[in-house]
Structure 1
């Protein structure tokens, strides 16, 4: 990892607001908060709009599938592009596409079109933009702060993400229910006004990202070849810590995620409507935010692997609790615990991703991680919709939580290197790769 500080790789992790000393980090995270709030509000509007049209759990699952498929199709070019071109320019281009897509969703809402295939088509384009912006954004972050501040930056980045996840769904629920029947004939009521707010957040994002001073240019200087393009897969495959952490998140969230089913819980089980849906979507972020603020003050120093597995196990238990709850307070409590437990996993996995990967390969390795994340989140929403169609929302959620617990125990056995991981430093994490015979792959990244 490129270092801008004099701290040694094994130095104690920075505390407090150390990462915010960087101007680019402050602007990037401000932009990120704005765009996530807008995206989460938009997600609430899309979910409620689709369910109000079809009233089928399976169709909610298709929204996740539409977002996931582009990441699968464009995985290899997205990672290579992130290493070959200026990552900042890639981000700007991809979020310009997001503006076009949100404008299309606004048009669908204003015109009162009730063909969900139009919505799925727009979501596919949104997923295409995300498939390229995700690896570029992830690979950009280590260049915004000194190496000694990186874990602190990851922790604050996670806190900001969760804060936006609290505000975004709540904002979406509030805007969706605003009484606008006398404004422009009510054509903007509901989803329309949410999409306008999302457009404002996207414009703010583009302005702030455009003002960043970091200019990376081309990181990968070797000619295009299959070996270069597939290097990210090879690197992950040879590192048990990377492969274990990526796949653990994939299967736990794939089985235990219940986000796609929240409109069903809000309307048919808890009877709370769109505002309740916004609260349900925000509850995991509340728990995650509390944990991320705690980790910023008291950073993880050791036993990272053990803490990861404990957090994932608690996530599975909390998912079961949410599925069994029958009132809003208990549901919110279970989701908050799930979010808190997942935050420990997020900080550890995000740190492992960047610290265990050389700078010139971060785009391709991040693309591999994006595929796992997309499968766990968007494909997980599709899986939730399918199982809920078969079993019902409650049984599907409980079964998913049980499955997450089973995966946690199995992965603790299959990936002892991940379970026994101690310090979150580049030296310690890359030593794992060397111990598995990956010296040639490490050296090849600088050829």
Structure 2
């Protein structure tokens, strides 16, 4: 394609970064469940990653709106590499380390990943629009998204399969190799993006940190759209419980776990390839609600299923429906954001979305501990459907959303 070479290098770096982080997540989940056999411990991985990912997001948006976003992204690679090395050391010395030492290392690796993630999304969001012309932005975003999605599929699958066949040490070494490739790819980028000019002088740092949040809160479309997505993912996500389904319910081992982890991403990728080829239909709002509702139904089917293939397809469809709502939401966010606030608004977006995945894992862990694993999944699916009803009732603006009619902000 006619994408600038530097953008290709950025896509490459992001691909290997995402691939490595996803691979590591499978290894971490399996290790923790192997060592502790406790659903709550799986939920705590999510929480450990979410605390820095949320806590630093506004700060990350602020820093990125004032610095060179590509330099920030390069440092993200280094922090992730440190996290990968911590996991690798845990595997190599697992026989000589006390149990609590191993657990501490695995959780601290998770924490470092959260730190890296809080800066990753806003840095990309601030870089890509400045590396291509505005007319090419939709396509560049689609390429970036497809690369991400492919990494999200192949990463967990590779993590589970390699872990099952060649063990933890080799798998974690490969994670580190991929992160080195991503770092090198970032170092090869020639283009220097200067800090963006600020158009608005804020009274204080606090006012500027909060400006993105206030913009979203007052926006008739962004706030309900993000809320809908956050609550449905918060309750509808079953990722954290997959090691339990793989071990105790479907009896399929780490290779099966890799497949279950990858299924939603496979559905999402096929759908996003399909969407990148054609325009979204006019009634975007209705599509958004239908797809989140269908996502909830898929989660309920997954909870009912005792068959590997049915479980796999329920998860794949859940990913496809989720992907439609993500494309509608991301397009709405990008089309509604003024350029000097992109970093901050993206940070708010990633607080809503990024956190809902990890806090959702924590919620799953608690619900599974209290209600049992399968009832926890039913509870999630039902909450998801309730959310669709409530938000649709409360927000006519989102019900009638049409992406083609969003005016570019001043």
Q: What TM-score does the superposition give when structure 2 sets the normalisation length?
A: 0.93
Q: 1:361 to 1:246 in 2, by over 3 A?
A: same
Q: Residues of 2 paired with 1:414 and 1:153: CA distance?
A: 34
**192, 202, 217: which one aligns with 1:215:** 192
Superposition pairs for residues 173-252 of structure 1, below 5 Å? Answer: 173-179=160-166, 190-221=167-198, 222=201, 224-252=204-232
Deviation of residue 220 (structure 1)? Answer: 4.7
| Contact persistence 2:17–2:77 (CA under 8 A) | no
SS at match of 2:337: coil
User: Displacement, 1:345?
Assistant: 1.1
Alignment check: 8 A CA contact 2:302 2:314 kept: yes
Structure 2: how far apart are the matches of 1:98 and 1:90?
13
Structure 1 counterpart of 2:113, from 115, 126, 140:
126
- Match of 2:267? 287
| 1:426 Cα offset (Å) | 5.5
* CA displacement at 1:267 relative to structure 2: 0.7
CA distance in 2, matches of 1:313, 1:81: 37
After superposition, where does 1:245-264 map in structure 2 within 5 Å?
245-264=225-244
* Cα distance, 1:301 vs structure 2: 4.5
Contact 1:166 1:286 in 2 (8 A): yes
Q: For the Cα contact (< 8 Å) 1:158–1:343, is it kept in 2?
A: no
Alpha-carbon distance in structure 2 between the residues aligned to 1:426 and 1:208? 36
Unaligned runs of 5+ in 1: 1-16, 180-189, 431-441, 443-447
Aligned residue runs from structure 1 range 365-404, under 5 A: 365-404=345-384
TM-score, L = length of structure 1:
0.86
SS at match of 1:240: coil
Unaligned runs of 5+ in 2: none
**Partner residue of 1:96?**
78
Instruction: Verify the 8 A CA contact 1:245 1:418 in the aligned structure 2.
Output: yes
Structure 1 residues 58, 80: CA separation in 2 closer, same or farther (over 3 Å shift)? same
Residue of structure 1 in register with 2:131 after alignment: 144
Q: Which of 43, 52, 55 pairs up with 1:70?
A: 52
Secondary structure, counterpart of 1:275 in structure 2:
helix
> Which 4+ residue blocks in structure 1 deviate beyond 4 angstroms?
none
Alignment match of 2:87 (pick from 69, 91, 105):
105
